[in-house]
């Protein structure tokens, strides 16, 4: 009897592995076709032809093309969310630096990810783009909000609305720094956008002026790592209205050096 049950378990495991391989193959081919042709222009038959299997095999795992695109997006986002979670969990660094690192983890930088983002921002992939934005917002906002709450306890941030503040930050960054908009910016325009974003983010979170300057690392072409862009921030004291958070009537000035 033990041998019979062991044999059944082995068969079930084999079916599971085969199913996983089939799903991965479908997602691989679909992702490539969505990138080449766009989501709207790609048909189930295109995926069938690319895989060399029947429609029935595809529909056994996915009920529709929309389910397939959701699997493609989930695969893309899981790396970002996992990296962000790891950064947020590192309590060995202060909350403001953790927030910078968590935000940076959500920023696509690898070649495959950059290609995916480029394709997502094409007009024919508008649905995929929207789905990814919503997924990242729903999963990333609570991670960032947790870091902000820790910062409030540490006295680094001062906001009664950690969740709402992070949702606003994500919503604005997704809109203002969308790939199709960034491509149209000059270096000076991008620097101005970046500094205004950091300025607003610090005020929304009640952070000390200049404390989130490291966010500059997310903007390609505006210095690499923790460089002069951060060092050249005017000191918080230069703008301090007496509360240590840089809130006097003068506008805070941030200076960025564009990498040559």
How confident is the model over 3-62, as pLDDT tens digits? 555 554 444 445 566 788 999 999 999 988 887 887 788 999 999 999 998 999 999 999
Any idea which of 181-185, 196-200, 220-224 has the lowest mean pLDDT?
A: 220-224
C-alpha 5/C-alpha 41 separation (Å) is 47
3-state SS class at 206: coil
Domain 2-184 falls under CATH 1.10.357.10: yes
Q: Which tokens hold the place of 24?
A: 């991965």
Average pLDDT over residues 255-259: 36
Residue 123's pLDDT band, with cuts at 50, 70 and 90, is low
Among 120, 139, 143, 130, residue whose Cα is nearest residue 77: 139
Q: Where are the domains of the chain?
A: 2-184
Average pLDDT over residues 73-88: 87
Helix (H) or strand (E) holding 215, with range, is none
Residue 228 has pLDDT above 70, yes or no: no
Average pLDDT over residues 230-252: 41
Query: 244: alpha, beta or left, given left = phi > 0 and alpha = psi -120 to 50?
Result: left
pTM for the full predicted model: 0.65
pLDDT of residue 188: 87
Of the two residues 159 and 174, the one the predictor is more confident about is 159
């Amino acid at each position: 009897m033990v041998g019979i049950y062991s044999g059944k378990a082995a068969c079930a495991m084999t079916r599971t592995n085969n199913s996983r391989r089939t799903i991965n193959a479908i997602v691989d081919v679909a992702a490539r076709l969505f990138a080449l042709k766009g989501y709207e222009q790609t048909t189930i038959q295109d995926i069938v032809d690319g895989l060399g299997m029947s429609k029935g095999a595809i529909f056994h795992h996915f009920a529709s093309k929309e389910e397939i695109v959701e699997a493609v997006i989930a695969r893309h986002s899981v790396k970002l969310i996992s990296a962000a979670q790891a950064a947020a969990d590192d309590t060995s660094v202060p909350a403001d630096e953790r927030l910078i690192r968590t935000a940076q983890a959500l920023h696509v930088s690898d070649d495959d990810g950059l290609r995916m983002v480029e394709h997502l921002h094409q007009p024919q992939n508008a649905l995929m783009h929207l789905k990814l934005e919503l997924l990242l917002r729903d999963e990333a906002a609570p991670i960032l909000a947790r870091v902000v709450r820790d910062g409030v306890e540490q006295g680094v941030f001062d906001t009664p609305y950690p969740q709402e503040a992070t949702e606003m930050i994500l919503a604005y960054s997704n809109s203002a720094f969308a790939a199709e908009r960034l491509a149209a910016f000059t270096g000076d325009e991008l620097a101005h956008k970046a500094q205004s974003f950091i300025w607003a983010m610090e005020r929304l979170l009640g952070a000390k002026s200049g404390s989130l300057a490291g966010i500059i690392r997310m903007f390609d072409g505006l210095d690499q790592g923790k460089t002069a862009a951060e060092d050249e921030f005017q000191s918080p004291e230069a703008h301090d209205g007496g509360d240590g958070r840089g809130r006097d009537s003068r506008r805070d000035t941030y200076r960025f050096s564009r990498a040559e």
